[in-house]
Amino acid sequence: MPFAFFLASARSDMRLMMGVLASALGIGLVAPVALQAAGEFFALLEELLQDQMPNMKFHAIALTLSCGRYLVAGGLTFYALSALYVLAPGRKIFFKQIWGAALVITLALQVRQGLFGNYVAKIVNYNAIYGSFGALMLAIMWVYIAGWLILLGACFCAAAEQSETEINPSNSKN
């Protein structure tokens, strides 16, 4: 096959991957804010209607919407990681080969985010030592941790594909 075919195919795959990641980022920025605002709206509505309808309780709805933003963030992280693990290699990868690694890394990122946020908020005071550069140092540390986890997921995907081809050699390309 001509080189131009491979170049055009790589460009279309790159455009698709960038589109998927941009959509995940766009929805990931809007959806959690919308869910948080809706939760606060129902909490305010309960407060306003407390005198007229004392039996009407909106706090469960508000709590559900507030917690839903974490589910949306996790779902979008899974979506973006799945797209990355399927589209980044230069060969055909099926979803069944990467979903486990994408799920494990999504959960690890969510747990690490909570732990890192707790660490930053309660334990470390970088501003006292480094001033405004402390926030930059923490952001770089988080990018390092997240990048390390994403690469670990890619290694899991590669290992799963390798073990699958060793078990069933008919699936491998010649």
Instruction: Please tell me the predicted confidence (pLDDT) of residue 6.
Output: 42
Instruction: Please tell me the predicted confidence (pLDDT) of residue 104.
Output: 94
- The band of 170, judged by pLDDT with boundaries at 50, 70 and 90, is low
The yes-or-no verdict on residue 8 having pLDDT over 50 is no
Residue 56 and residue 46 in contact, taking contact as beta carbons nearer than 8 Å: yes
How many angstroms separate the CA atoms of 52 and 45, rounded? Answer: 11
CA distances from 21 to 97, 108, 160, 170 (A): 20, 19, 23, 33
Q: Where are the alpha helices (DSSP H) in 49-167?
A: 59-87, 95-122, 126-130, 133-167
Report the chain's mean pLDDT, rounded to a whole number.
Answer: 78
Region 15-23: mean pLDDT is 75
- The band of 11, judged by pLDDT with boundaries at 50, 70 and 90, is low
pTM above 0.85, yes or no: no
- The band of 128, judged by pLDDT with boundaries at 50, 70 and 90, is confident
Residue 82 and residue 15 in contact, taking contact as beta carbons nearer than 8 Å: no
Model confidence over 24-41: pLDDT tens digits?
777 777 777 787 788 778
The yes-or-no verdict on residue 19 having pLDDT over 70 is yes
Closest C-alpha among 99, 108, 113 to residue 143: 113
